[in-house]
Chain A
Amino acid sequence: MNRIFNIKRFGRYLKSDIRSCTADYGLSLMLISLMGVIIYIGTILMGLIFNGTWEGPGVGFRLTAFAVCMFVLVVTMPVKCYGKITAKKEGSDWLMVPVAKTEKFLSMVIMTVFIVPVVSAGTYLCLDAITCAIDKTCGESLISSFGSLIVNFFGMTATVYSEAGAVPGLQEFIRQVSNPLLYVDDIIGMCLIFLLGAIVFKTGKTAKTFLAFFLITSVLGLIMTPVITHYFGEFAVQFQTKPQMTGDIFNLGIFRHVALFDTINDTLVNLALMAGIYYRIKTLKH
C-alpha cells in the first residue's frame, strides 16, 4: 500500500505542489482573482471621465466577466502548473520526485479541479461582495444573484413553454436541469480536459487541446447522429410542426431522469479523462 499511496507522503507532496504551482502561476492567479475589482474600478473611472457619473458595471456584465475569468483560469492553469512535465528538464526532475504515481496524479487533479478554482472563484466572489457592500450603486453581488439568475432563466423558459400549451413532464425536466449542482461535473470535466491536454501535448498545448476537443466531439456527433435520429427523429418533426407535442418527449425515460443520465454520462467522461491523465503520468518518459 505504501508503494501506491501513503497519506503522509501525499500530504507533503500536495504541499510541495501548492508551493511549486504558486511560484509558477501565483501572479496570474492573483490577477484573475482581482479581475472583478479591476473591471469594476475601470468601469467607474471610464464613467467619471466620459460621463461624469459614478456607475459600476451591472450584474449581467460582472457575471459574464466572472465566467470569462474562470474559463481563462481553467484553460491556463494546467499549462502553467503542469505543462512543464512534458519538457525534458523539468519533466525529468518531476518524474524523479520519490512519490507514488497515484499521489502525483491525485495532487494534480485536486489542484486543478478543486484548490485553484475554489481559491480563485472564492476570492473573486468575496471581493465582488465586498465591493458591493462598500459601493451601494453596485447593486446585487454575484453570489446573491446566482440563484435568482438561474431561477429567472429557467422560469423564463418554462413560461415560454407554458404559453405554448400544457407540456407534461416539462416542469419536472426544468426542476432537474435548473439544479446548479448538475453542472459541477461539467466544470470538473472541462478542468480535466485542459489538464490532460497540458500533459499530453508538448507544444501548442491550449490550441491543440481545443482542436482535439473539437475533433473528438465532431466524431462523436457523427457517430451519435444516427442514434439520435432513430430515437428522437419523430419528436423533432413534431416539434417543428406542433410545439405542444413536445410534451411526449419529456415523458421519455431519458428526459424524466435527465439529471441521472447526465450525471452518469459526465461521470463516465470524467473517469475516462482521469484514466487518461493517470496513464500519461505512468508512461511519461524523458
Chain B
Amino acid sequence: MINLKDIKFSYGENTVLQNISMTLKEGRIYGLLGENGVGKTTLLTLMCGLKKPDKGQISTDGWDPYDRDPDFLSQQYYLGDDLAAPNMKASDFAANYGSFRPDFSMDTFASIMKEFETDITQKMNCMSYGQLKKTHVAFALACRTKYLFMDEPTNGLDIPSKSQFRKAVMKYTREDSTIVISTHQVRDLENIIDPIIILDSKEVLLNAGLEEIAARLFFDYSNTPRPDALYCEMIPGGSIQVCMNTDSQESKVNIEALFNTVHRHKSIIKNL
C-alpha cells in the first residue's frame, strides 16, 4: 500500500504539487490522468523515490521511497516515458539488470518480446523508439514487481502493440501488484485501468474506482439531449452525456468524457 500525506513539491518557485494526500491499494491498476504540466510524472517519480518531496510523507509498505533501500527497490519498477537505449542486446540488458530482481524471469521476458514481435538479440541502441519501448515494457513486466509505475507506456507503440500491451499487463503482473499508469492515451488503457486518479494543478480532483464513479455519475449514450448534463460530446453515431446519477442507473464509464467532466465541474466532482 502506498500512502501519500500532504505532499508538496516545487521546481524552484514553481509549485507543482501541494497538499496531495491519497492511498493506493494493492491489486489495482491506477490510471493517473491530468492535463500537461499538472505533475503526473513528478508524482510518479516521487512515489518511486527518484525525487524527494519538499513537504509531506510517502510511505510504501513502511518504506520511504527516497531512501532507495535495495529491498524496496527490488519490489518496484519505474518505466519512464523517455527511455535509455543502452549499447547492448535486449537479452543482455535483461540478464544484466534482471539479476537484481528476485522475481525476474528470462522466459517471461522472452515470451513478452515474442508477443511484441521484437527480436531479443537486437542491440537496443539500434532499435526504433517503439521497439525500445516494447523492450522496456517487456522487462518491466518480466520483473513481476509488487509496484509498477509506468509513464505513458503506450506512447510510440503501434496499434497491435497497444492491444498486446494490455494483454501482457493483465497476463504477467502479479495479483497483488499496485500498478500506476500515467497516460494521456486513455482509450488505449480504458479497459484495464481502475481506479482513476485525476490530477489538477496542485491537487487531486478524483481518486475513485470505476464502480464508485458509475454510482455517482451516469454516462448516457442515447441521442436524447439532457438538460441536466454536466458534459456533452458528439461521438460517431450519437452523443455521450454525463449527468449526476440520481436514479442509480447503470452505465459504462467513458474515461475521456469523465476527464472532461471533472475539469469543467471541479467543485461538483470534488464534493461528490
Contacts and interface: CB of A to CB of B under 8 A. Distances in A.
Interface stretch (A36-44, A61-69, A84-92, A189-197): A84-92
A23 B88 contact: yes
A86 B87 CA distance: 18
Contacts of B78: 92, 96
Chain A, interface residues (CB within 8 Å), range: 20 to 34
A24 interface: yes
Contact of B100 (A2, A20, A97): A97
Contacts of A12: 99-100
Contacts of A24: 87
Interface stretch (B30-38, B48-56, B171-179, B263-271): B48-56
Nearest to B87: A23
Contact of B80 (A3, A88, A99): A88
B91 interface: no
A92 B150 CA distance: 13
Interface string A89-109: 110110111111101000000
Interface in B187-240: none
Contacts of B101: 98
A193 B52 CA distance: 27
Interface stretch (B16-24, B65-73, B157-165, B242-250): B65-73
Chain B, interface residues (CB within 8 Å), range: 20 to 34
B92 interface: yes
A286 B73 contact: no
A95 B50 contact: yes
A92 B49 CA distance: 10
Contacts of A280: none
Interface in A206-261: none
Nearest to B96: A16
Contacts of B45: 92, 286
Contacts of A95: 49-50, 68
A19 B98 CA distance: 14
A285 B100 contact: no
A173 interface: no
B84 A98 contact: no
A100 B71 CA distance: 9
B47 to A, nearest CB: 12
A13 interface: yes
B71 to A, nearest CB: 7
A20 B86 contact: yes
B48 A96 contact: yes
B108 to A, nearest CB: 18
Contacts of A202: none
B98 to A, nearest CB: 10
A140 to B, nearest CB: 39
A259 to B, nearest CB: 40
Contacts of B69: 3, 100
Contacts of B72: 98
Contact of A99 (B50, B70, B76, B92): B70
Taking chain B's interface residues, is the majority helix, strand, or loop, or is none over half, making it mixed? Answer: loop
B77 interface: yes
A19 B88 contact: yes
A175 interface: no
Interface in A16-36: 16, 19-20, 23-24
A92 B50 contact: yes
A98 B102 CA distance: 10
Interface in A49-92: 84, 88-90, 92
B272 interface: no
A259 B48 CA distance: 48
Nearest to A103: B70
Contacts of A96: 48-50, 73, 76-78
Nearest to A19: B96
A98 B70 contact: yes
Interface in B78-113: 78, 80, 82-84, 86-88, 92, 96-97, 99-101
Contacts of A2: 70-71
Contacts of A3: 69-71
A16 B99 contact: yes
A220 B186 CA distance: 58
Given A89-B82, A98-B70, A98-B101, A286 B50 contact: yes
27 contacts: A2-B71, A3-B69, A3-B70, A16-B97, A16-B99, A19-B88, A20-B88, A20-B96, A23-B86, A23-B88, A84-B84, A89-B80, A89-B84, A90-B84, A90-B86, A93-B84, A95-B49, A95-B68, A96-B49, A96-B77, A96-B78, A97-B73, A98-B100, A100-B69, A101-B68, A286-B50, A286-B51
Interface of A: 2-3, 6, 9, 12-13, 16, 19-20, 23-24, 84, 88-90, 92-93, 95-101, 103, 285-286
Closest 8 CB pairs of A and B: A98-B73, A98-B74, A89-B84, A23-B87, A90-B84, A286-B50, A98-B100, A98-B70
Given A3-B70, A12-B99, A16-B96, 5 more contacts: A12-B100, A19-B96, A88-B80, A93-B84, A95-B49
